[in-house]
Structure 1
Amino acid sequence: MSGQSDLVVRSDEDGLALLTLNRPDRLNALNVPLFEQLRKHIQDIASDKSVECVILRGAGRCFSAGHDLGDIAEGEDTPSPGWHSETLRMMEKLPKPVIAAVHSHCYTGALEVALAADFIVASDDAKFGDTHAKWALTPIWGMSQRLPRRVGIATAKRMMFTAETVRAEEALQIGLCEKVFPAAEFHNRIIDFARVIMENSVFSHAANKRLLEATDAQALDMGLQWEIMENEGIGPDAHKRIQAFMKK
C-alpha cells in the first residue's frame, strides 16, 4: 500500500478520497514531514474534480495520539509561522465534505486536526482530549476557536482546563462527534455513511459549505441577507435529479 516515506496515504474509491495518517509505529504522532504530505494531498484534492468526499483516518491502533512531543522538544522547523494552522484551514475550506473518522486515541493536536474536518464520526472506543495545559502549552492549530464552536464555550473550557478524556458516548452527547459506530464495523460503516453524502449534489455541498463558512457566528439578519444575496442558484444536476424523482 505504501512505503516508509508515505506518512499520509491517499487511496480513491469511486469519488471517495481516503487520507490515512500513516505512522502506526508512533501512534500516528503528528510531525512536520507528515503535515507536509497532508498539505500536498489537500492541495491535490482541492483541484481534483473527481473527488466528491474525503475521509481522514488513522492507520493501526488509533487516529492519532497528537502532536509529536519529541518534535516539540527538539524545536520544529516549520516553513512559516502558523504553517500547521494554515494547512488545517486549507483542509477546512475544501469545497467538498471532509469527515474525520476517529478510532481510539485523538488527543490535543490530533483533535485540532479532526476539528478542521466538517464533522467527526467516532468508533465506540474513541477517546478525545485536549492536554495542552498538562504540558504547559497553548493551542496554535485552532483548538481555542474550533472546539468552542463545536461544543460551546463552557464545555470547551472544561475540556481544556481539566485535560480529561472524553469517550465516544459523551462526545456524541456534547456534539463533539456526530455519529458513533461499533469499532468492529467502523471501516465499513464510515464508508457507507460517506456514500450517503455522495448520493447528494456536489454542487450543493460546495455551495452550502461556502454559505455556512461566510455566515458562521454572524447575526441572524445578516446571515439571512447573505443567503438571499449570495445564493448560488440551481446546480447543473438539479433538473436531472428532480426528473428522476418525478418518474418514481
Structure 2
Amino acid sequence: MKIEDFEDIVYEKEENGICTITFNRPERRNALSFVTFLEIRTALEDMEKDKNARVLILTGSPEGNAFSSGGYFNMKLMTQIPEEIMKDIDLMDIAQKKICMQFWDFNKPVIAAINGLAIGAGFTMPLTCADLIYMADDPETYIGLIFV
C-alpha cells in the first residue's frame, strides 16, 4: 500500500519531526476497519525509516466527533480488498494484534490525543499502543466485553 492511496487516515509529517495519524472516517465516527489498520501499519513503517520523524500523535478527525467509535466490520468491503492484503490480515482480531505488536516494537514515542468518543478498539488501542494519552474535557470511553 502506498501513502498517497490512504483513505481511512490522514498521515502528516512536519519538518520538526512531529508526525500525525488522524482517523478520518467522520461518517462512521472514525471507526477502524481492516483498511485502517493496514494504513496505520504502512505509516508506522514509513516513520521507522524516516530519521527526521521524532514522535507520533494519534487522533480522530474533529468532523467525526470522536477519536474512534471502534471496529468497523463490512463484509462487502472485505470482498473488495485485494488478495495480497488479505493474506496479511485474516480477521479484525489478527489485524489489531499485529498493530499492537508493531506499536510495541515502534522506535518512536506515541501520543494519543483522544478528542471525544473512544469505544472498543478506539479505547484499547491507545491503552496498548501509546506512551502518553491526553483526553479532551468531554471524552466518552467504553469497552464492550461480554463475560460468560
With normalisation by structure 1, the TM-score equals 0.48
User: Do structure 1's residue 67 and structure 2's residue 68 form an aligned pair?
Assistant: no
Report the counterpart of residue 106 of structure 2 in structure 1.
Answer: 94
The structure with the greater share of residues assigned to strand is: 2
Among 54, 57, 66, the alignment partner of 1:55 is 57
Deviation of 1:25 after TM superposition, in Å, equals: 1.2
Deviation of 1:107 after TM superposition, in Å, equals: 0.6
Q: Runs of 5+ in structure 2 lacking a partner? A: 80-85
Report the counterpart of residue 215 of structure 1 in structure 2.
Answer: none
Deviation of 1:75 after TM superposition, in Å, equals: 9.6
Among 123, 128, 146, the alignment partner of 1:111 is 123
How large is the Cα RMSD of the aligned pairs?
Answer: 2.3
8 Å contact from structure 2 (residues 37, 95) kept in 1: no
User: Do structure 1's residue 26 and structure 2's residue 28 form an aligned pair?
Assistant: yes
| Aligned residue identity for 2:59 | R
Q: Hey, what's the Cα distance between the residues in 2 that align with 1:62 and 1:30? A: 12
Deviation of 1:112 after TM superposition, in Å, equals: 2.0
* Count of residues in Structure 1 that have an aligned counterpart in Structure 2: 130
Q: Hey, what's the Cα distance between the residues in 2 that align with 1:44 and 1:5? A: 13
Report the counterpart of residue 139 of structure 1 in structure 2.
Answer: none
Report the counterpart of residue 123 of structure 1 in structure 2.
Answer: 136
Deviation of 1:88 after TM superposition, in Å, equals: 2.3
1:132-143 superposed matches below 5 A:
132-133=145-146
- The alpha-carbon distance between structure 1 residues 76 and 6, as it changes in their structure 2 partners (threshold 3 A), is closer
SS of the equivalent of 2:111 reads: strand
8 Å contact from structure 1 (residues 107, 128) kept in 2: yes
8 Å contact from structure 1 (residues 92, 118) kept in 2: no
Deviation of 1:76 after TM superposition, in Å, equals: 5.5
User: Do structure 1's residue 41 and structure 2's residue 43 form an aligned pair?
Assistant: yes
- The alpha-carbon distance between structure 1 residues 75 and 19, as it changes in their structure 2 partners (threshold 3 A), is closer
SS of the equivalent of 1:37 reads: helix
Bigger relative contact order, structure 1 or 2 (CA pairs below 8 A, ≥6 apart):
2
8 Å contact from structure 1 (residues 92, 117) kept in 2: no
Identity of aligned residues (%): 27
Deviation of 1:80 after TM superposition, in Å, equals: 3.9
| Aligned residue identity for 1:67 | G
Q: Hey, what's the Cα distance between the residues in 2 that align with 1:5 and 1:40? A: 9
SS of the equivalent of 1:132 reads: coil
Q: Hey, what's the Cα distance between the residues in 2 that align with 1:8 and 1:75? A: 16
With normalisation by structure 2, the TM-score equals 0.77
Q: Hey, what's the Cα distance between the residues in 2 that align with 1:75 and 1:8? A: 16
